[in-house]
Structure 1
Amino acid sequence: MMSNHNAILKTGDWVKGKSRDGELIIGYIENLEEGMIKTKVISSDNKTIEGKIIPLQSKQVKKMPAAKVANKEQIHFLIDLALSTGDEEWFFELSTKLNSMRELVKDVK
């Protein structure tokens, strides 16, 4: 775990920030080591760094709030994102939530 001006950062947290070159970045923490945050870039205004892991300092990033999932379409989108990022734990968490929603609907019919 590492602390920055906003929150305690840990592996798997979603962050947004800017690189040393001023590029906007949205991604998740792949690893924390020696004061550096290894961030897997999912989206950036520099498309050439998307999908890469880049080192950032904690002062360069801000932890993103947890998503409030309200409907089935949002869960499907997040499941696709979990699959594309290889986050198995998140995938199973979202799949469980989706199945719970399906069960609720089935019980209403």
Structure 2
Amino acid sequence: MLSNSSSVLKTGDWIKGKSRKGELIIGYIESLNISQGVFKVNVITSDNQETVGKTIPILSNQVKSLPVSIVINKEQILFLIDLALSTGDEDWFIELSSKLNSIKQLVNGVN
């Protein structure tokens, strides 16, 4: 774990920050180097499309933790399922699919 100005961050946490070139990025921490204060971040979205899908180093003082969001509707879950597939996170995909199935069962039970 590595601490920055806003919280303690660890592998798997979602962050937003700026690359060394000043590009805005949103992604998740793949690894961290405590002694150097550097995160290796898998970039999911960026204002530089060439960076998307790559893992780049970012200094810990250049990132902030993204807040955990509560998924409440089908569209949000479908978006997150796509994200889980694109990042190869099988456990998250299974968890989200289960939530989606629960919503479908609830809707079918109301009809």
**TM-score between both structures, scaled by the size of structure 1:** 0.92
Determine whether 1:73 maps to 2:75: yes
User: What pairs up with 1:7-46 in 2 under 5 angstroms?
Assistant: 7-34=7-34, 35-46=37-48
Matched residues in 1 for 2:71 and 2:38: separation?
30
How far the C-alpha of 1:33 sits from its partner, in A, is 2.3
**TM-score between both structures, scaled by the size of structure 2:** 0.91
Tell me the alpha carbon deviations over residues 38-91 of structure 1, each in whole angstroms, 9 at most, x when there is no partner.
Answer: 100111111111111001111110010112212101100110011001111211
Aligned amino acid, residue 82 of structure 1: A
Matched residues in 1 for 2:59 and 2:39: separation?
6
How far the C-alpha of 1:107 sits from its partner, in A, is 2.1
Q: Structure 2: which 5+ residue stretches go unaligned?
A: none
3-state DSSP of counterpart to 1:22: coil
Given candidates 90, 93, 96, the residue that maps to 1:94 is 96
Number of residue pairs the alignment of both structures matches = 109
Give the 4+ runs in structure 1 shifted more than 2 A: none
Q: Structure 1: which 5+ residue stretches go unaligned?
A: none
Identity %: 64
Matched residues in 1 for 2:38 and 2:92: separation?
24
